[in-house]
């Protein structure tokens, strides 16, 4: 077989892939929409994604022969229909599914995902994006970019962040999250904690390891387990998912606390409950604008 020759673009044929919903659904915070394209950084490479009918085209700044990194990130090879089929048949779930069919889960870099969600607590998605943009501009490395697009930067490594002061991090507008990020970066960089090994553990053990890090509780751990490691039943419950579960499933119960909702979700949403969770989250966040459009 001939090795594929290096190229600047590659087109992938896809079905049921809503790129816009996927990249704007609060999994990753590094995507910016420019005209009809999405600009981001994946695996240390600047990349532009364009969605066509039944296809996604990736464009990079320097020719590459192997596109596996973007295939993996976008999860282009998963059996989407097989996942959606496992969702419960109840009305709320089917409404959410219909509202944003084609929404996918990404497979992100564990460190970037962990650091990003440490910065996410009680912040709106736009603000998380602002913080991460500042962090990458100040402490990441500049990457080759295609003209005429603005400069892009890698996500700073844990080791790089250990050389920051807390004040420098706070200056990225992250507030009280700065010491959490700094301490976690130190733990990771000192190899007291191997992110590599988390994926081989059971869900419960992996979650226990992550929640041992400062600033990482159940919710942030579940985000990393789902968005970076692909644990299919990690089920992050934030304020939106909480609202979705209470309003859609327990409209007249006053005593549904976090713990009860976790046990409900574990038995109700099936073997891909994490995927189902992302549909509920995105549906709740966007249903008002959808209502306006239709």
Partner DNA sequence: GCCCAGGTGAAGC
Partner DNA sequence: GCTTCACATGGG
CB of 220 to DNA, least distance (A): 4
- Smallest gap from Cβ 151 to DNA, in A, equals 22
Q: How near is the Cβ of 127 to DNA at its closest, in Å?
A: 5
> Which residue from 244, 283, 243, 245 is spatially nearest to 267, judged by alpha carbons?
245
Between 47 and 221, CB nearer to DNA: 221
CA atoms 188, 190, 192, 198: torsion sign? positive
Q: Please return the burial class of 280, using the count of CB atoms within 10 Å of its CB with bins 0-12, 13-18 and 19+.
A: buried
CB 103 within 8 A of CB 119: no
Q: Between 20 and 61, name the residue whose CB sits nearer to DNA.
A: 20
| Residue 7 C-beta: closest distance to DNA, Å | 32
Q: Minimal distance in Å, beta carbon 261 to DNA?
A: 11
Minimum Å distance from CB 1 to DNA?
Answer: 39
Applying CB under 7 A, the residues found at the interface with DNA are 25-27, 117, 120-128, 130, 170, 173, 175-176, 211, 213-221, 223, 236-241, 243, 257, 259, 277-278, 281, 285
d(CA 147, CA 145): 6
- Two tokens at 209? 């390891």
**Is 49 or 223 the residue whose CB approaches DNA more closely?**
223
Alpha carbons within 13 A on the beta-carbon side of 275: 25
**Among residues 252 and 259, whose Cβ is nearest to DNA?**
259
Residue 233 or 278: the one with the smaller Cβ distance to DNA is: 278
Minimum gap (Å) between residue 285 Cβ and DNA: 6
- 91 versus 126: smaller Cβ distance to DNA: 126
Q: Which is nearer to DNA, 146 or 209 (CB)?
A: 209
Question: Least distance from C-beta 156 to DNA, angstroms?
Answer: 19
Q: Which is nearer to DNA, 45 or 236 (CB)?
A: 236
């Amino acid at each position: 077989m001939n090795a594929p020759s290096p190229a600047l673009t590659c087109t992938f044929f896809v079905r049921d892939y809503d790129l816009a919903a996927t990249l704007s659904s609060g999994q990753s915070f590094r995507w910016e929409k420019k005209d009809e394209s999405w600009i981001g950084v994946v695996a240390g490479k600047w990349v532009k994604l364009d969605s066509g009918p039944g296809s996604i085209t990736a464009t990079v700044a320097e020719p590459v022969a192997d596109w596996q990194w973007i295939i993996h990130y976008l999860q282009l090879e998963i059996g989407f229909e097989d996942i959606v089929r496992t969702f419960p048949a109840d009305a709320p779930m089917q409404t959410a599914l219909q509202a944003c069919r084609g929404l996918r889960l990404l497979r992100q870099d564990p460190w970037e995902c962990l650091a990003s969600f440490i910065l996410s607590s009680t912040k709106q998605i736009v603000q998380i994006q602002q913080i991460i943009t500042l962090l990458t501009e100040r402490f990441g490395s500049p990457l080759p970019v295609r003209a005429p697009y603005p400069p892009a930067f890698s996500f700073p490594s844990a080791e790089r962040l250990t050389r920051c002061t807390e004040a420098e991090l706070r200056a990225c507008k992250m507030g009280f999250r700065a010491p959490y990020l700094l301490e976690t970066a130190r733990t990771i960089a000192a190899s007291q904690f191997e992110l590599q090994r988390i994926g081989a553990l059971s869900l419960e053990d992996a979650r226990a390891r992550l929640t041992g890090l400062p600033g990482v509780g159940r919710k942030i751990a579940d985000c990393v387990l789902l968005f970076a490691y692909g644990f299919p039943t990690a089920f992050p419950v934030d304020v939106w998912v909480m609202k979705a579960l209470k309003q859609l499933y327990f409209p007249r119960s006053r005593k549904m606390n976090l713990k009860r909702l976790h046990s409900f979700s574990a038995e109700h949403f099936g073997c891909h409950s994490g995927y189902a969770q992302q549909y509920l989250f995105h549906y709740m966040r966007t249903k008002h604008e959808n209502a306006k459009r239709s």
